[in-house]
Amino acid sequence: MRNLIRIVLEGAFSNFKRIFFAKDRVTDMELRNAILNGEVVPDPKVAEKACIGCGGCANVCPTGAIEMKKLNSSEWLAVGWAKTEIPELNSLKCVNCYHCHDFCPVYALFGEPATIHPNDVGELEVNVNDLIEEPIKISEDKINYISQYLSDKTVLKNKKSK
């Protein structure tokens, strides 16, 4: 009998906590508030700072969803190379084939997270000026395959120094 009363009281107490103090709640309250206030914006698809502006993603995109848009002021990256444009991804045309992600030289040549991603590029901390000086460590035929889509081949200048 005492056990029974204990079970009833414990159940009542845990239900009290659930109802009045929202214990065990799994709903994402941050997301709920953001949705009700209309603050949800699409995730960023392009990391504008880490991008090297080679135009490979726009050339390789099978649906033409990526357009290169001109920067207001071009940025010096390395000798003989300035970043003048960055890609812009139109999600309504994108089929998420990840070609842009896989062809991005920052990912394909240097092994860092790609600066374009069809879903969410995330936060990148890549120093582009240092990255370009690093030697490339992938096979020759793969480099040739990637380089046919690049509009600026300066990124391949260190390929012999491996």
In the set 119, 127, 148, 151, which binds other proteins (CB under 8 A)?
119
Those residues with Cβ within 8 angstroms of residue 36's Cβ, 6 or more apart along the chain or in another chain = none
- Which tokens in the block code for residue 110? 């240097």
Distance CA(93)–CA(71), nearest Å, equals: 23
Q: Which is nearer to other proteins, 58 or 89 (CB)?
A: 89
Distance between CA 96 and CA 93 in Å, rounded? 9
Strand ranges for 51-135 from DSSP E: 66-78, 81-89
Per-residue binding letters, 137-156, with other proteins (x by CB under 8 A): --------------------
Closer Cβ to other proteins, 32 or 153, answer by number: 32
Do the bridges between strand 66-78 and strand 81-89 make them parallel or antiparallel, or are there none, so unpaired? antiparallel
Question: Toward other proteins, which CB reaches closer, 38 or 80?
Answer: 38
Q: Is 118 in the site for other proteins (CB under 8 A)?
A: yes
Position 97 contacts other proteins (CB under 8 A)? yes
Residues within window 36-75 making contact with other proteins, judged by CB under 8 A: 36, 38, 40, 42-43, 63
